[in-house]
Amino acid sequence: MKARRDVTAWVLLPVVALAMLPLMSFSTWVTLTIAGAAMGMMLFLMASGLTLVFGLMDVMNFAHGAFITLGAYLAVSVLGRMAGWGGSESLWLNLAALGVAVTVGAVVTGAVGAVFERMIVRRVYGSHLQQILITMGGLIVAGQLVVVVWGAQPLQVAKPALLRGSFLVGGAAIESYRLVAVALGLVVFGVAHAVLNRTRIGLLVRAGVENREMVEALGFRIERLFVGVFVAGAALAGVGGVMWGGYQEIVTATIGDEMTVLIFIVIIIGGLGSVTGCFQAAVLVGLTTNYVGYLTPKLALGSNIALMVLVLLWRPRGLFPVAKP
Amino acid sequence: MRRLISGDRPGHPLADLLMLALLVGLAFAPFLFPGTKSMAAASRICIFIVLAASYDILLGYTGIVSFAHTMFFAIGAYAVAIPLAQGGPSWGAIVGGELAGAAIAAVLAGLIALLSLRVQKIFFSMITLAVASLAGIVAAQWRDVTGGEDGLTFSLPAALGPGFRMVQEPFLGVRFDGRLVTYYLIFGVCLVLFGLMLRIVNSPFGRVLMAIRENEFRAEALGYRTVIYRTIASAQAAAIAAVAGGLMAILLRYNGPQSTLSFEIMVDILLMVVIGGMGTLYGPALGATVIVLAQYYLQPGLQAASDAVTGWPVLPQLFHPDRWLLWLGVLFILIVYFLPAGIIGTLRRRVR
């Protein structure tokens, strides 16, 4: 059954973006919109796995930020070792260096995610309280282990040389790194959307989110599917962490924890279990952060919380609710 | 005695013994463990017992997972620190600040709890996390009032200062100075608050909270407006946490985001409640004692372990004195797995 197209939620994004136009000059608006979109794409990478894991298995992973931290530190290590490519004149070598970092980030955090699922999450299916507690414990241990491996000092990310600067288009300054982030985010969203809507596995995942018992009753092993989604979500968070580390350029052990609040806001606004909602909400949060950060810098995070409260008052289950209440 | 603890004994001979030892140890701490460091540790234990127990009313008795509890702790601390820093030392500022802090915290907690009317339980946890981080930003940005990241330093009335002497001659080797008065002020208030919390959870009201924890739907079906009960429980816990926060400010003669508002403290509270045993009140008291003692005395122990393994590849970093939280985290996970009822809860089950 194809659900009715939900128009109101879809137009929210352009409406918010256009409403800000009168408050600033056009070139500023372009800069901020691209910055917001880039931040949104990175938020989407970090949040998409979490929302699916919750939707599919009713598991809330408060340690998701640890995957982001791990990804950011992997960016430090990989890009630091690839200074030859990253410092070269060729744009392709620069992008390749970032590509290697992203790949390593995805593979390593995915593997860590598999271990984490096995050791920490698997035993606490069904009990929200235990999930919150045990994943908080996992977060503490993971954060401390990161410090054991990389040390407690902030580390610098050796961002590829040609991705550092910005260029002018019609008076609007655009950072090239942000464009890469937007492109990567769009590709990942496209792939995730295609996998979920065009493949058999995607069909099973969506069916599992809507009614897990029924899928199990039809003879499918939803646990295996869940492990796959958990690992993919961890890998995506790692990719998001690599990109976010490169964006911030300075990586500390709390980089993931700081993002956790924003990620929660994103998946609450988007509706738990919905990848499309997560994408829209991520861009919405990214745009709001940048617009408000420009207009009244002190209110930046407060604005996101206000946004979340408004959306929840309008739609208590988020913009695109999928998961069972 | 039974009435003072509302007829709620720890419930197992060993637990009774532990709690009695804790009470005696804290009541006579200045005489049993003289010294500045152990006095500071004892005061912190008192304050964190109250803070963790008030969180237990939410987590253990009502089944609410809130991450905003340190916010109320900080509200109480700022409510005492701000008038003292701006108006100079006075008893009026201390008492007024404590009461105002408790009132503000209760109202704010009530408002946040009412928000949970419309959202699912798991949303509520995430929302409180967001609200707590917002509070952190407010405290750091609102420089004129909160002192920003630097916090507020202030002085206390003379009777609480180190120069004050109640009796000139030391008794049993202990000077009766302002530090002693401060300690017994903190100890007394904490004792009263703990008794009050035992009263709350053993009242008919407390039974309804437990009914909500076990099965909210059924509690609602029995005719209890569960939202009202949850809101009142949140407000009570917040008010008690705020009073504890005020005591923390008095103890430190300082308040800043790091001392009362940081997320590390929230993690500590969770550890205390879970290790000791959720839904027992005595459990968090034991947990608070263990964690505070670990903070004060585990680091030297880890230093020794680290020295013992120097030369090995990774081990020295794992046993680095700053990594004590790692081991507490491991302990926390093991306890959630193998002793989900915590220390006191497990002992209680053995009796029944």
Contacts of A147 in chain B (CB under 8 A): 322-323
Between A321-325, B93-97, B161-165, B201-205, the lowest mean confidence (pLDDT) is in A321-325
Give the pLDDT score at A214: 86
Over 50: is that where the pLDDT of A71 sits? Answer: yes
Mutate to test the interface with B, among A121, A131, A141 (most CBs of B within 10 A): A141
Task: Classify residue A322: in a domain, yes or no.
Answer: no
Give the pLDDT score at B314: 67
Between B173-182, B300-309, B339-348, the lowest mean confidence (pLDDT) is in B300-309
Structural class in CATH, domain B13-351: mainly alpha
A264 touches chain B (CB under 8 A): yes
Global model pTM greater than 0.90: no
**Can you read off the two tokens belonging to residue A28?**
């500023």
Determine, for residues B65 and A130 on separate chains, whether the beta-carbon distance falls below 8 Å: no
**Can you read off the two tokens belonging to residue A163?**
């991705």
pLDDT digits (tens, 9 = 90+) for A273-288: 888 889 999 999 999 8
Task: Classify residue A170: in a domain, yes or no.
Answer: yes
Give the pLDDT score at B35: 79
Determine, for residues B326 and A141 on separate chains, whether the beta-carbon distance falls below 8 Å: yes
Contacts of B139 in chain A (CB under 8 A): none
CA B240 to chain A, closest CA, distance in angstroms equals 23
Between A1-10, A291-300, B289-298, the lowest mean confidence (pLDDT) is in A1-10
CA B229 to chain A, closest CA, distance in angstroms equals 19
Mean pLDDT of A114-137: 81
Task: Classify residue A218: in a domain, yes or no.
Answer: yes
Task: Classify residue A5: in a domain, yes or no.
Answer: no
Give the pLDDT score at A72: 92
Determine, for residues B125 and A134 on separate chains, whether the beta-carbon distance falls below 8 Å: no
Give the pLDDT score at B200: 92
Determine, for residues B270 and A133 on separate chains, whether the beta-carbon distance falls below 8 Å: yes
Contacts of B121 in chain A (CB under 8 A): 128
Contacts of B118 in chain A (CB under 8 A): 312-313, 316
Mean pLDDT of A41-57: 85
B118 or A94: which carries more pLDDT confidence?
A: A94
CA A258 to chain B, closest CA, distance in angstroms equals 9
Give the pLDDT score at A157: 82
The rounded mean pLDDT for chain A is 83
pLDDT digits (tens, 9 = 90+) for B215-228: 888 998 999 988 89
Task: Classify residue A282: in a domain, yes or no.
Answer: yes
A261 touches chain B (CB under 8 A): yes
Which CATH number belongs to the domain containing residue A283 in this structure? 1.10.3470
Contacts of A144 in chain B (CB under 8 A): 323, 325-326, 329
Task: Classify residue A4: in a domain, yes or no.
Answer: no
In angstroms, the CA B74 to CA B265 distance is: 11
Q: CA of A124: which chain B residue's CA is closest?
A: B337
| CB proximity under 8 Å: A 132-191 to B | 132-134, 136-138, 140-141, 144-145, 147-148, 152
Please state, for a pLDDT cut of 70, what percent of chain B lies above it.
91
Over 50: is that where the pLDDT of A2 sits? Answer: no
Determine, for residues A141 and B267 on separate chains, whether the beta-carbon distance falls below 8 Å: no
The rounded mean pLDDT for chain B is 85
Task: Classify residue A325: in a domain, yes or no.
Answer: no
Q: What is the DSSP string of A236-266?
A: HHHHHHHHHHHHHSEE-TTHHHHHHHHHHHH
Over 50: is that where the pLDDT of A1 sits? Answer: no
pLDDT digits (tens, 9 = 90+) for B151-202: 888 888 777 777 676 666 666 666 677 788 889 999 999 999 999 999 999 9
Contacts of A272 in chain B (CB under 8 A): 122
Determine, for residues A264 and B337 on separate chains, whether the beta-carbon distance falls below 8 Å: no
Number of domains in chain A: 1
Using an 8 Å CB-CB cutoff, list residues of chain B that contact chain A: 59, 63, 65, 115, 118-123, 125-127, 129-131, 133-134, 137, 141, 263, 267, 270, 274, 314, 317-318, 320, 322-323, 325-326, 328-330, 332-333, 336-337, 340
In angstroms, the CA A66 to CA B244 distance is: 31
pLDDT digits (tens, 9 = 90+) for A216-264: 888 888 888 888 888 998 999 999 999 998 888 888 888 888 888 889 8
Determine, for residues A147 and B323 on separate chains, whether the beta-carbon distance falls below 8 Å: yes
Nearest to B333 among A137, A301, A325 (CB): A137
Determine, for residues B134 and A301 on separate chains, whether the beta-carbon distance falls below 8 Å: yes
Over 70: is that where the pLDDT of A323 sits? Answer: no
Determine, for residues A308 and B130 on separate chains, whether the beta-carbon distance falls below 8 Å: yes
Mean pLDDT of A20-41: 86
Task: Classify residue A176: in a domain, yes or no.
Answer: yes
**Which residues form the domain of A246?**
10-314
Determine, for residues A298 and B122 on separate chains, whether the beta-carbon distance falls below 8 Å: no
Give the pLDDT score at B55: 95
Q: What is the DSSP string of A118-187?
A: IIIIGGGTT-HHHHHHHHHHHHHHHHHHHHHHH-SS-EE----GGGT-EEEETTEEEEHHHHHHHHHHHH
